[in-house]
Structure 1
């Protein structure tokens, strides 16, 4: 097997997975992510990523992610809206899963595209009905994968990605949310 497949260093992946599997300290088996979001005006906000922790070590980084609503939804259409960012996060996570797991399985990916679609009932979003879910009742996605691998191998890859994708798991089942409200008086 090629040691660098789909841009993934397979030996480094195997070494990392082995170190996590053998770790006895919980901090050596975890990753922690943090995002701080500030409202700018109207419906626009900017999220800042400044650090993450991986297997007990903290790493600095800096990314800004803007969000806004379309003009028709009272925004300025200056950035993707939160729903589009949510779907983009799902698609990105699935893409990583396909690239990494395909490399580990010896599958070359020639192209990969994931398209996600969901519909919201605005009565829930706008608080017009307590009986209407403000979120999605269903989200569908299509994976378009071009590879020379046999169908059985690609179906196995799809099953692995479906089982191990963090964001697919986050979409698929409830996450316990722990809210804290801090009020600053003017």
Structure 2
């Protein structure tokens, strides 16, 4: 038997989950992103660290965002809505591949396509009764495995219940804003 189905070290996953279940100090994961505006509608987010179980880990990634030219940008990067959907898709992908591995299911291919429509009147402040965000987002999971239909449906149920970003999309998150004004 393959000890790393889908490239996932199932033994390490099991040990990690056991540690989280048994030790309260290992239950926390904290992520941080700092975004700086560059010009026009372009910004660059920097990921420099995360904390797992109270231990900070350094890393460095930059994620650019921009709007298409029709929305006054330079079309130099995905826009925030596309990044939001990409984050959902990436989280779901991790869920499918890792949980499939834990279930002994080999994933041959996986594709997730997400779609949502906005009413720009809300974003532009033209109608205060219009939601500036999505009222509905749909996603299609295209999964190829050798598993039975019942096993794949169980996998889908597990991922639907445990995906962090699906949970974030599905319910309101309490936001805690702070405004820091720098004097000229």
Check whether TM > 0.5.
Answer: yes
Q: Deviation at 1:37? A: 0.1
TM-score (norm 1): 0.98
Match of 1:67 in 2: 65
Distance, in Å, in 1 between the alignment partners of 2:48 and 2:118 is 32
Map of 2:50 onto structure 1: 52
Determine which of 108, 125, 128 is the counterpart of 1:127: 125
SS, match of residue 6 in structure 1:
helix
Is 1:178 the counterpart of 2:176? The answer is yes
Q: What are the within-5 Å matches in structure 2 for residues 31-50 of structure 1?
A: 31-50=29-48
Match of 2:152 in 1: 154
TM-score (norm 2): 0.99
Aligned counterpart, 1:5: 5
Q: Tell me the secondary structure at the aligned position of residue 111 of structure 1.
A: strand
Size of the aligned set, in residue pairs, is: 184
- The answer to whether the 8 A contact 1:2-1:106 is kept is no
CA deviation vs aligned residue, 1:97-141 (integer Å, no higher than 9, x gap): 001000000000000000000000000010000100000000000
Q: Per-residue CA shift, 1:124-179, capped at 9, x if unaligned?
A: 01000010000000000000000010000000000000000000000000000000
- Unaligned ranges ≥5, structure 2: none
Q: 1:91 aligns with which of 66, 75, 89?
A: 89
| 1-structure distance, mates of 2:3, 2:124 | 52
CA RMSD of aligned residues (A): 0.6
User: How many Å separate the matches in 2 of 1:65 and 1:2?
Assistant: 35
